[in-house]
Amino acid sequence: MARYRSFRDVDWPLMIITLIICALGVLQIYSATHDTRWHDAWWKQLIWIVVAMGLMWVVTSIDYHTLLGQVPVLYTISVAALLATFAIGKLVFGSRRWIHVFGVNFQISEFVKIVIILLVARYLSELKSEEIGVRDLLKIGGLVGIPTALVMYQPDLGTGLTYLPILAAGILLAGLRWRHLAAVALACTLALPVGWYFLKDYQRTRLVTFLDPSRDPRGSGYQVIQSKIAVGHGGMWGRGVTRGTQTQLRFLPVPHTDFIFSAFAEEHGFVGVVVVLGLYFLLLMQVVQNAQTAPDRAGMYICMGVATLLLFHLLVNVGMAVGSMPVTGIPLPLMSSGGSNMFSVFMMLGLVNNVRLRRFVS
């Protein structure tokens, strides 16, 4: 086959939207941290973006079929690395999520997302029937379930939860009998109380205060209340860059990472929110378009996995800013300050480009 890959064939609209969102993120990080001890976060973020683009190019360059072929190896490495975090992980805020390598802290669970996307894509594309049988359902469920459980046990409920939508979207796309769908739904419902039992105290409090933030106005309810005040304070046009009092006086917790969108909403108002959400929507549709034009099922599953993951991140993070979602501490893709998530998102976009470049084969 012709292995011709043109630079021109890269999804340029996707790239441009991505970089605009990243730029807004850097601006907001600057605004939220310029007079704090994290004041250098904005140029660190720039470095992360540059490095992430390099990683994206690497991921784009290797044919995704090759990557799919390496899924067993990648999967094994992932599980091993997650296990390793328990042993050598850095304890931050009572949770072991980071591994310290070459002076940089890597959040393994972020990179596992890519492996999960590839795993689901490979498994489902190898199915022989048009519908998934119970055996396959249990098998793929088990394969995704192991890393999910490990991440949740770190404990990092939010990131662990992001793996499940990839699986769910894949299964639904692959086709599921109504009976099985009902069975899965029932199993999930039954799992809720069991899951509750396994939650840490702070996670339970978070869920309870999500339902009623005023119950704990100083604890996790405080974050939601302050975030909503910050958003509302922005009004239609926003307070202006570095002018949001909720952000600048730090009533809004972590305004450059998890709550960056609340800080953005305070300083740029409803108009800014609509613009950024519009950009995210365009980005998402661009990814979906690549799924529709993918050369094969595996490519389609990969793109849809990326789209689902991004949508889930947006829903949970942005929903958290307005109090529609519980505080889970998952970052806003492309905007939140931090390297690991930036790398994983760009690598996912690399996968999407990868699929796109291979559609012109033969």
Partner 1 sequence: MLIEHSDPERAHLPDRPDRLFRDDTRFALGRIAVFQYLAVGIFLFLTSGFWVLQVRDHEANSELAERNRIKTVPLLAPRGKILDRDGRVIVDNHSAFTLMLTRENLKPEHIEPIAAGLHLDPEEIRARLKRYESRPKYVPVPIKQELTSGELAFVDSHRDPETFPEMELIQDQRRLYPHGGLAAHAIGYVGEVSEQELNTTEFAKYSQGDIVGKAGLERQYNDSLIGIDGQRRVVVDSLGREREILESKEFTPGRNLKLTLDLDLQAVAELAMENRRGAVVALDPRNGEVLAMVSRPAFDPNAFTARIRAEDWKELTSNPDNPLLNRAIQAQFAPGSTFKPIVALAGLEAGSLDEHSSVNCTGGAVFFGRYFKCDAKHGPIDLHRAIVHSCDVYFYTAGNRIGIDRIAEYAELAGIGKKTGIDLPGEAEGVMPSSRWKLRTQREKWYAGETISVAIGQGAVTVTPLQLATAIGGIANGGAWYRPHLVKDETRSEQPRRGELHAENIATVVSGMYGVVNEGGTGASAHIEGIEVSGKTGSAQRISNELAKSNKAVSQAMKDNGWFVGFAPRENPEIVVAALLEGGEHGYQAAPVSRDVIKAYFDKKARLARPAQPQISLFRRPGR
Query: In the chain, at which residue ranges do the beta strands (DSSP E only) sit?
Result: 90-92, 95-101, 104-107
Residue 30-59 contact track with partner 1, rule CB under 8 A, x = bound = ------------------------------
Q: Taking the complex as a whole, how short is the minimal distance between the CB of residue 316 and partner 1, in angstroms?
A: 10
Stretch that binds partner 1, among 17-25, 90-98, 112-120, 226-234 (CB under 8 A): 226-234
DSSP H or E segment with residue 205: helix 201-211
Decide if residue 273 touches partner 1 (CB under 8 A): yes
**54/235 with CB nearer partner 1:** 235
55: burial class by Cβ within 10 Å (0-12, 13-18, 19+)? Answer: middle
Q: How far is the CB of 150 from partner 1 (least distance, A)?
A: 27
Q: Does 234 bind partner 1 (CB under 8 A)?
A: yes
Annotate each residue in 307-326 with x if it binds partner 1 (CB under 8 A) or - if it does not, as one string: xx--x--xx--xx--xxx--
Q: Which long-range contacts (CB under 8 A, 24 or more apart) does 284-288 make?
A: 284/310, 284/311, 284/314, 286/11, 286/13, 286/14, 286/17, 287/14, 287/349, 287/352
Residues 129-148 that bind partner 1 (CB under 8 A): 130
Size of the site for partner 1 (CB under 8 A): 65
Cα-to-chain-centroid distance, residue 5: 28
Tokens 């011709």 sit on residue:
4
166 binds partner 1 (CB under 8 A): no
Q: What's the closest the beta carbon of residue 292 comes to partner 1, in angstroms?
A: 6
270 binds partner 1 (CB under 8 A): yes
**Is the bond leading into 72 cis (omega within 30 degrees of zero)?**
no
Cα dist from 153 to 83, 119, 141, whole Å: 10, 21, 18
Cα-based distances in Å from 325 to 139, 211, 275:
31, 9, 21
User: Binding to partner 1 by residue 18, rule CB under 8 A?
Assistant: no
| CA 63 to each of CA 37, 66, 73: distance values in angstroms, whole numbers, following the listed order | 42, 5, 16
Enumerate binding residues for partner 1 (CB under 8 A): 1, 63, 65-66, 69, 125-126, 128, 130, 169, 172-175, 217-218, 222, 226, 228-236, 245-246, 249-251, 265, 269-270, 273-274, 277, 280-281, 284-285, 288, 291-292, 294-300, 304, 307-308, 311, 314-315, 318-319, 322-324, 361-362
